[in-house]
Structures are given as structure tokens and as C-alpha cells.
Amino acid sequence: MTNECAVPAGIDAADWRRTPEAVRLLLVALGAALSQQQETIARLEQTIAEQQQTIAQLKETVAGQQQELVRLGARVATLTERVQQNSQNSSKPPSSDGPHIKPRPQQAPSGRRAGGQAGHAGHWRPLVPESQVSEVVDVRPATCACCRQALSGDDPGPSRRQIVDLPPIVLWVKEVRVHALVCPQCGATTRGEDPADLPKGSFGPRVVASIGYLVGAVHVGYRSAAAVMEDLLGLELSVGSVHALATQASEAVAAPVAAAQKAVREAEAVNADETSWREQGKRCWLWVAVTKAVVAFCLQPWRNSAAARHLLGSTFRGVLTSDRYSAYYWVDQTRRQVCWAHLRRDFAAFLDRTGAAATIGQALLDASDDLFRLWHRVRDGTLSRQNCQRQMVSIQTRVGDLLREGEALTGTKTAGTCRQILRLETALWTFLTVEGVEPTNNTAERALRSAVLWRKRSLGTKTQAGSLLVERMLTVVATLCLQRRNILDYLTEACDAASSGRTPPSLLPANAAAPAELRAA
């Protein structure tokens, strides 16, 4: 049987028939092997293509994971910084600091004992004039302490001390008897009319004012105010009556408060700030504006530029001192002063970051130390404003250079903060050229402290009338304290005026003049 082999590709059939059998078999075997190798190469090429595709996919996955790691790293850094925030590097109150936060460094101990030092002039309560003394007790010795001889006469200069006490408080009750008389001629009955100066309700203006004082100045609750009135004055009041009387006191000062709010909008220089409040469980905002002689509070449902315009007036032309909150950006920065106390907390936050940010933060803190050192001398009168301005030029240049250096740290939170500060760079130095403007907003922050304490005790208000009471009483108390006027006397006069239909006393100082143009230094 003849073994026919297929003619390999590329070989002529005639030549193939003349080729020896062994060679033909060898060529056939080589052709089969070559075909297998080509198939293997094709499979390898396909495998390589699949592996290249897998490698591309892995590279894409790795790139995505690297981006995620960068994002998570930034998130961790942000959360870490947030956890490390305290009253020294942010706007958080000192009460929120944990036990691990070290207190601010105090002055080194002087080594002297506590209390008054040797040679220190004593302070005693001044004696009231004799015309105001209710009772005089003369103490004279009966006999001589040495020889027992009887003594008589008066000492021309006896030692004096006065004991102040409260007399037993007895309520003063006025009974109004309105008679209805019958005319003997026509038989008609005519009822008498109350005098115009009598209160309309059951309580006089001093009781109303006392409730307003307890609620609005001392910030006690209605139930506690009722207890105080009963324990100290012997006047029993229900919680509802206390609420009604507090509302009455609030309405009595409505007009003076409105006038105070208007005066703030026309002031030459204003310090403004805001804090949260709660009305019916919903968050709202309590705004405050402080001038040289008037403080005005205003409760608003928003914390935005519209609320700031409502507080200051859309035509406000004075100089505003505040933090860098964006709600105040509508005020031109040439009429603004940015609070340096807030800036120092931002600079302290730079220290918690590593590298160049910490270096810039420390340099900015050093510059602010030099700023306050000069400014305190201006306030003490040991440095003139003109000399302060000249010495402050180098500090201004240094601060500007450091902020631009921080802005160059692109992609960092430090760069964003520096960029935001540079946006208000002109407003950093207004206090140098405008009289009555301080480099910090401490005035407004101090005014808010009593409001914050009231919020913590009461947890907010439940009605709009309650919110109005808060707004009005805070305005009255803060303004009177600023002017060193008696709060209870003012409230009594206002409540008396309201009950008799007279004009209530003004919260504005007696010598208040119309707003003048800003005075440059």
C-alpha cells in the first residue's frame, strides 16, 4: 500500500514525487510542527493582549485608588483638625474645651502671697451722708478704763461705722372704689371713671418692672420669678401672671428699643456679632450691634446678609467691626475692621498643621503680638497714634507677605484661609486711621455673653412674643449698663409711662447728637 503524503505548501508536486520518502516524511513532520508553533504563537499573542488589557485595567484601578487615598487623606486631615479645634484655635467657646486642652499660659508667679500686699491702700465702703442715716446709736464709755472715774460728754470725732440692712418689706396696696350714684332728679345711675394715672390691671408699675428685671436682667424663669416675689416681697403670683407681667414690661419698652435700633443704624462705628437661638425648637439667630452708647439686639430666622442688613440698615455708612463672616461682605471693606482676635485663632490653627503652614502661622502670631503691643501703648497713652502708624508699616508689610506666602500653598486649607483674609486686606488696618475703632470685636462678643447664658438656662423661647421680650430686654439692659443707668428705675418709669399713656423714657443718652461724618485720625 503506497503511503501518500500531502504536498507541503511551497513545494512543486513534481519535485515532491521525486523527493525520497524519508525526506518527504521529515518535511511533513516539520510542517506539522510549524503549524502547531504558529497556533501556539497565536494563542500567546491573544494571551498577551488579554494581559495587556488586564494591566491597563489594573493601572486604572490603581490610579482611582490613589485618588481615593488622596481624598481620604484630606478628609482625615480635615476631621483631625476639627477634632483638635478648641477655643484657642477656633471660634469654639472655652466651655467646650476638654480636660486635655492646656489653659492659656499665665504670668509667672511673683512669689507674693495672695490678697492685699503690705502698704496697699485699703478700700472701704464709703459712709452715706448723715441725712440718709435712719438711726444713730451713740456708744459712750461709762467709766474710765484706768481709774474707774465716771465719764461724760461727747467725742468731737468718734469712730463711725454704718450697718446697712433692709427694712421689713410690706406691700403697698391701693384699693380703688368706683361708686355708682343715682341722680335724685332723673333717677339715672352714673358710674365713676378711673383716674387716668391709675394702672389698668391689678399690679403697679414697680411690680411690673420688678418682673421685667428678674426675667430680662437676671434671666430667671417664670416659676423662679414667682418664688422670688413671694419670698422677698410677700406677693403671690402664678406662673401665668408672671408671664403676663413680663410681656407687659416688654411692650412698655418697645418704642425706646425701636429708637435704639434706629440709632445703631446711624452710628459712626458699630461692632456686630451673632449667636444661635431657638424659637419653638427651630434654630434662629440673635444679632447684636454695639455702639459707643447704645446696644441693640435683633432676633432673625436667618444668618445671612439680609439679616445683617436688617440689623445695620441697608444704608449703613459707619465703620463695621466684625469677624470675616460672608454676611457682612455687602459693607465696603474700606468701612470695615476685621477682628484680630479671630485672626489669631486662625493663625493658631496653622500651627496644628505641619511644614510651611506651621511656620507661617507662628510668624503671623508673632506679628500680631507686635501689633497688640503697640496698640495697647496707644490706649494707655504712652504712644501717639501717629507714631503707632509709622511703626505699624513694617508689621503691615510682614503680614501681607506672610499671607501671600500662605496663599501660594495651593490645594491646602491654609491657602484658602489666607486667600479669604487677603480679600479683606484693607479691612485689617482700619483701626489705625479711624477714631473709636478697635482691632478686635470683643465689645460685641461680651455683649452676647449674657444672651448665651440666658439661652443655656431657658433653651430658647416658645412664642414670637417671648422672642420679642428677649430682644427688647437684652437691648434695654445692655444699653443701660453701658450708660451706667439704673435698670430697675428705668423699667419702673417706662411701665408707669405705659400705664398712663405718656411717652416712655429714651434709651439714648441725654447728650446724644446727630451722627457726624467719620473722623480720620
User: Over 50: is that where the pLDDT of 517 sits?
Assistant: no
Whether residue 454 is contained in a domain is answered as yes
pLDDT in tens, 110-141: 677 777 777 777 777 888 898 999 999 999 99
Q: Tell me what pLDDT residue 9 has.
A: 66
pLDDT in tens, 151-166: 888 888 899 889 998 8
Beta bridge partners of 286: 275, 299
Whether residue 40 is contained in a domain is answered as yes
How would you class 140 by CB atoms within 10 Å of its CB: exposed for 0-12, middle for 13-18, buried for 19 or more? exposed
User: Over 80: is that where the pLDDT of 196 sits?
Assistant: no
Q: Which of 204, 141, 218 is nearest to 175 (CA)?
A: 204
Q: Tell me what pLDDT residue 18 has.
A: 67
pLDDT in tens, 313-349: 989 999 999 999 999 999 999 999 999 999 999 998 8
Whether residue 15 is contained in a domain is answered as yes
How would you class 17 by CB atoms within 10 Å of its CB: exposed for 0-12, middle for 13-18, buried for 19 or more? exposed
Q: Find the range with the poorest average confidence among 97-101, 365-369, 493-497.
A: 97-101
Between strands 269-279 and 180-182, the pairing is unpaired
User: Over 60: is that where the pLDDT of 516 sits?
Assistant: no
pLDDT in tens, 47-95: 999 999 999 999 999 998 988 888 888 787 777 767 766 666 566 666 6
Between strands 180-182 and 336-338, the pairing is unpaired
Average pLDDT of 225-245? Answer: 92
pLDDT in tens, 252-281: 999 999 999 999 999 999 999 999 999 988
Whether residue 81 is contained in a domain is answered as no
Whether residue 246 is contained in a domain is answered as no
Q: Domain count of the chain?
A: 2
Rounded to two decimals, the pTM is: 0.76
User: Over 80: is that where the pLDDT of 515 sits?
Assistant: no
Give the domain extent around 435: 269-484
Whether residue 503 is contained in a domain is answered as no
User: Over 90: is that where the pLDDT of 368 sits?
Assistant: yes
SS3 of 155-191: the string is: CCCCCCCCCCCCCCCCCCCCCCCCCEEECCCCCCEEE
Whether residue 62 is contained in a domain is answered as no
Pinpoint the alpha helices (H) of 339-384: 340-351, 356-380
- Angle of helix 254-265 relative to helix 305-312, nearest 10 degrees, comes to 100
